[in-house]
Chains A and B, each alone.
Chain A
Amino acid sequence: MYLADSRSTGSRGTEAAVVPDTRPGRRPAAVPPTVLALGAVSLITDVSSEMVAAVLPLYVVTALGLSPLGFGLLDGINNGVGALVRLAGGHLADRGGRRHKVVAGLGYGLSAVCKPLLLLAHTLPVISAVLAVDRTGKGLRTAPRDAMISLSTEPEHRGRAFGVHRAMDTTGALLGPLVAFAVLRATVDGYDAVFAVSGCVAALGVLVLLLFVPRRVTLADADADAERRPERPPALRDSLALLRRPDLRRLTVCATLLGLTTVSDSFLYLLLQREGNLPAHLFPLLPLGTAAVFLLLAVPLGALADRVDRRRLFLAGHGVLLLGYGVVLSPRHGVPAVIAVLVLHGTFYAATDGVLAAATAGTVPARHQGAGQALVGTAQALARFACSLAFGAAWSLWGERTALAVTAAALAVSAVVASFLLRTADEVSA
């Protein structure tokens, strides 16, 4: 059991199974209330942010009469800043006796403030700036939130806990556009009403966080961990030193390798539409297909990850993605192929997104959960961004099919390398 590694400094690995919430007679299967609360916060927040995301292009073009092409300019900068902010968020959360809730609250709050600001923004640069602040908030809250999920869950149930969280998150993302269009229908193009309602929903999310997520989310072992050492807040050096932990380092390398060969969603949908000769007006439905499958499979695959080894499932998820690339490249076109790819793509997310966070949790001690989650998450996000740039260039040079074939080959190689790296980890912690 690799979860023993989170206490590798101590010699009390046998106590791993003894966690405070598993009193006799209590079903250990239950998802901790903190995870449900965080899931609710994510669900509500995603309703709010996806409401805005769904109507923003419409608002810019039909209400402001502007071309939204200028939006893309800030994208690259946002990605870089977003990565740094995530690292900072994870590090800050670990400081001063686990301030996860404070940092996450700041992140959610920052994004919530952005919604009413959109009521005042009427030019593209201002709207882009508001979106950048919104993303800063997202970057800030991600790592502390995942740290809180890890810390409040018994190690052997983390896969399912993250699955439950991601499923609730995705539910919000699917509901958001529905709410937004209902408001637009009721108000006849009342974009200000959409932003106002979105702001109220976001405020509600922050409030649920403040009220129902405990200030300190700790397990017994984490407390012991803290007691054994003086309460010194981790310095930035300590966060970076995390990479000296072999398990975390291997996981980070694998997440980076596999991220470098993961084609971004928008490219994949574009390929799917072009290769599958799908009518262009069906294009907006493709992300919904992936999200629906992700929603359905996040909990079962998370639970499966708890039983079969998270890193193995993470790898298997990328195998499923490889299969998806194969279907796109195969001569089979038409609706069945498109549906197959969406099912595989959604399965890939369900097998990797929360599962990676759960696997990361097992490689770092409790007091470094924030920084650890941020490190792996940031590495993966930056790698995927690099893949986007490279894929765009490859598409230009060689055409779409060759670009995807090369990426698929690279993914296969990465997966083989990753399986060796992760197997080593298995043996070390066994």
Chain B
Amino acid sequence: MTRTARLSILLAAVLLLGAVGTGSVLYAAHRSGMKDQQQANGPTVRAGTVSLRPTAGRRLLVRNLAWGPHRDEIATVPADDPEGPRTASGVKCLRFHAAAGTGVCLQAVHGALQDTYRAVVLDAHLRERHRFPAAGIPTRARVSPSGRMVAWTVFVSGDSYAGTNFSTRTAVVDTRTWAIDDNLETFHIVKDGRTYRAADTNVWGVTFADDNRFYATLATGGRTYLVRGDVTARTLTTLHRNVECPSLSPDGTRVAYKKRVKGASPDAPWRLYVLNLHTMKETPTAESRDIDDQALWADDDTLVYALPGDYGSDLWTVPADGTGTARRLMTSAVAPAYLG
């Protein structure tokens, strides 16, 4: 083949592949434009004032995923009418949680070269009180019942070629002093009664009992554990195996969590279980699908969690005692928190 022929082929290929690439970018950009248009059959979302203060009725706060101008904003609905009109706050978060007038919002900051992330602690009017840089992609967020302590987890990835090693980084902040423990892996670990140290530890999914004690997942050596944490003593103590993303019930007696079940397809290994902390008895919930979320207790008997949906994800609910069936609570929403 002559040099000219080769260059002609190259030129033609560059034009063709360039057209395909440009086309896919234009198509994706067009689609993102459509995401700013409200869906005809989607939930009604209106801009309004969202407060974290107690109000007359109980409310559910979520990150609204419905297409329209308020997509990704924290929105609120009455707890007894979750499919009703949503009031959007104008605050965009990837992950969110709130309790007793304190909110934590994990945000992406789009930079020129890459995204960076931050955790923003919000006051009752959703105004920024303090911000912390976050080391990676946000995944879990929790506020202690009193509103004083805040915790979040991010994924950190190595940058090597086809790097497939991910790790988590979990931080805990005291909102009175703004003291931060930005890596719970540095806590003293007591595993099966003995001091334990390993380079491969990962901690994620904090759920607070009070302003000092919390529960979380510890992973090491290919296993996951439920750990009880103590902020003041800086300790993590293992309690149970095969527990991920624990969520403590309001009465403090049980933990809802993701359990990796045997015999499940490796596609979908996690089922939603409830562990009684007194008897250490595990109860599977009636939700039979794969759950990759930190569940939320709506009350002492009911769990709420996200599952993939048509617009990112939907919220579902199931009784905590293993009875009943899973029901859809609301569409196009993620990261729920109850107020009041």
Count chain A residues whose beta carbon lies closer than 8 angstroms to a beta carbon of B: 71
Q: Assess whether B331 is interfacial by the CB under 8 Å rule.
A: no
Please judge, given known A-B contacts A61-B139, A192-B24, A280-B183, whether A399 and B197 are in contact too, CB under 8 Å. yes
Check B199 against A61 for contact (C-beta < 8 Å): no
B220: min CB distance to chain A, Å: 9
Q: Give the contact stretch, choosing among B27-35, B227-235, B316-324.
A: B27-35
For the complex, give the distance between the alpha carbons of A66 and B266 in Å.
13
Q: Give the contact stretch, choosing among A180-188, A219-227, A229-237.
A: A180-188
Check A65 against B29 for contact (C-beta < 8 Å): no
- For window 165-220 of A, CB contacts with B under 8 Å fall at 173, 177-178, 181, 183, 185-190, 192-193, 196-197, 200-201, 203-204, 207-208, 211-212
Q: Assess whether B277 is interfacial by the CB under 8 Å rule.
A: no
- Name B166's contact: one of A71, A187, A200 (CB within 8 Å): A71
For the complex, give the distance between the alpha carbons of A12 and B162 in Å.
45
Please judge, given known A-B contacts A188-B29, A212-B6, A283-B135, whether A67 and B155 are in contact too, CB under 8 Å. yes
B-facing mask of A29-65, CB < 8 A → 1, else 0? 0000000000000000010011011100110011011
Please judge, given known A-B contacts A71-B165, A75-B165, A190-B28, whether A197 and B21 are in contact too, CB under 8 Å. yes
For the complex, give the distance between the alpha carbons of A69 and B220 in Å.
12
Check B161 against A53 for contact (C-beta < 8 Å): yes
For the complex, give the distance between the alpha carbons of A266 and B96 in Å.
30
Check A396 against B197 for contact (C-beta < 8 Å): yes
Check A123 against B219 for contact (C-beta < 8 Å): no
A339: min CB distance to chain B, Å: 18
Q: Assess whether A108 is interfacial by the CB under 8 Å rule.
A: no
- For window 4-61 of B, CB contacts with A under 8 Å fall at 6, 9-10, 13-14, 17-18, 20-21, 24-25, 27-29, 31-32, 35
- Name A396's contact: one of B18, B135, B168, B198 (CB within 8 Å): B198
B226: min CB distance to chain A, Å: 16
- Give every chain B residue within 8 A of A125 (Cβ-Cβ): 266-267
From B156, B199, B308, residue with most partner A Cβ within 10 Å: B199
Q: Assess whether B62 is interfacial by the CB under 8 Å rule.
A: no
Check B25 against A183 for contact (C-beta < 8 Å): yes
Q: Give the contact stretch, choosing among B75-83, B107-115, B144-152, B206-214.
A: B107-115
B123: min CB distance to chain A, Å: 24
Please judge, given known A-B contacts A68-B157, A123-B267, A177-B114, whether A280 and B164 are in contact too, CB under 8 Å. no
Q: Is the interface of A mostly helix, strand, loop or mixed?
A: helix
- Give every chain B residue within 8 A of A52 (Cβ-Cβ): 162
For the complex, give the distance between the alpha carbons of A62 and B200 in Å.
24
- Give every chain A residue within 8 A of B110 (Cβ-Cβ): 185
Check B31 against A190 for contact (C-beta < 8 Å): yes
Q: Assess whether B193 is interfacial by the CB under 8 Å rule.
A: no
Check A207 against B200 for contact (C-beta < 8 Å): no
Please judge, given known A-B contacts A177-B113, A281-B133, A283-B156, whether A67 and B164 are in contact too, CB under 8 Å. no
Please judge, given known A-B contacts A62-B137, A187-B29, whether A131 and B166 are in contact too, CB under 8 Å. no
Check A181 against B155 for contact (C-beta < 8 Å): no
For the complex, give the distance between the alpha carbons of A183 and B155 in Å.
22
Check A188 against B13 for contact (C-beta < 8 Å): no
For the complex, give the distance between the alpha carbons of A45 and B322 in Å.
51
For B244, give the chain A residue with the smallest CB separation.
A67
For A286, give the chain B residue with the smallest CB separation.
B159
- Give every chain A residue within 8 A of B156 (Cβ-Cβ): 280, 283
A417: min CB distance to chain B, Å: 27
For the complex, give the distance between the alpha carbons of A78 and B160 in Å.
14
Check A66 against B292 for contact (C-beta < 8 Å): yes
**Total residue contacts A-B, CB cutoff 8 A:** 171
Check A186 against B165 for contact (C-beta < 8 Å): no
Check A181 against B162 for contact (C-beta < 8 Å): no
Q: Assess whether B97 is interfacial by the CB under 8 Å rule.
A: no
For the complex, give the distance between the alpha carbons of A204 and B10 in Å.
8
Check B162 against A49 for contact (C-beta < 8 Å): yes
Q: Assess whether B298 is interfacial by the CB under 8 Å rule.
A: no
Check A131 against B164 for contact (C-beta < 8 Å): yes
Check A54 against B114 for contact (C-beta < 8 Å): yes
Q: Assess whether B300 is interfacial by the CB under 8 Å rule.
A: no
- Name B161's contact: one of A72, A173, A181, A280 (CB within 8 Å): A173
Check A69 against B133 for contact (C-beta < 8 Å): no
- Give every chain B residue within 8 A of A67 (Cβ-Cβ): 139, 155, 292
- For window 126-175 of B, CB contacts with A under 8 Å fall at 133-139, 155-166, 168-169
Q: Assess whether A25 is interfacial by the CB under 8 Å rule.
A: no
A79: min CB distance to chain B, Å: 10
For B36, give the chain A residue with the smallest CB separation.
A188
B259: min CB distance to chain A, Å: 14
Check B20 against A196 for contact (C-beta < 8 Å): yes
- Give every chain B residue within 8 A of A281 (Cβ-Cβ): 116-117, 133-135
For the complex, give the distance between the alpha carbons of A128 and B219 in Å.
20
- Give every chain B residue within 8 A of A266 (Cβ-Cβ): 158, 160, 163, 165
Check A197 against B199 for contact (C-beta < 8 Å): no
Check A287 against B160 for contact (C-beta < 8 Å): yes
Q: Assess whether B182 is interfacial by the CB under 8 Å rule.
A: yes
Check A68 against B166 for contact (C-beta < 8 Å): yes
For the complex, give the distance between the alpha carbons of A177 and B114 in Å.
8
Q: Assess whether B249 is interfacial by the CB under 8 Å rule.
A: no
For the complex, give the distance between the alpha carbons of A51 and B123 in Å.
38
B-facing mask of A390-407, CB < 8 A → 1, else 0? 011001110110000000
- Give every chain A residue within 8 A of B248 (Cβ-Cβ): none
- Give every chain B residue within 8 A of A186 (Cβ-Cβ): 25, 29
A68: min CB distance to chain B, Å: 4
Q: Assess whether B334 is interfacial by the CB under 8 Å rule.
A: yes
- Give every chain A residue within 8 A of B17 (Cβ-Cβ): 200-201, 203-204
Check B21 against A128 for contact (C-beta < 8 Å): no
- Give every chain A residue within 8 A of B18 (Cβ-Cβ): 200
Binding site for A on B (CB under 8 A): 1, 6, 9-10, 13-14, 17-18, 20-21, 24-25, 27-29, 31-32, 35, 94, 108, 110, 112-117, 133-139, 155-166, 168-169, 182-183, 197-200, 202, 219, 266-268, 292-293, 306, 308, 312-313, 334
Given A57-B137, A192-B24, A211-B1, 15 more A-B residue pairs with CB atoms under 8 Å apart are A53-B161, A57-B136, A61-B155, A64-B308, A67-B139, A75-B164, A177-B113, A187-B31, A193-B24, A200-B21, A211-B9, A266-B158, A281-B116, A281-B134, A395-B199
7 A-B interface contacts by CB (under 8 A) = A57-B166, A72-B165, A72-B166, A138-B162, A196-B20, A266-B160, A395-B199
Minimum-distance CB pairs A-B, first 4? A190-B28, A280-B135, A395-B199, A188-B32
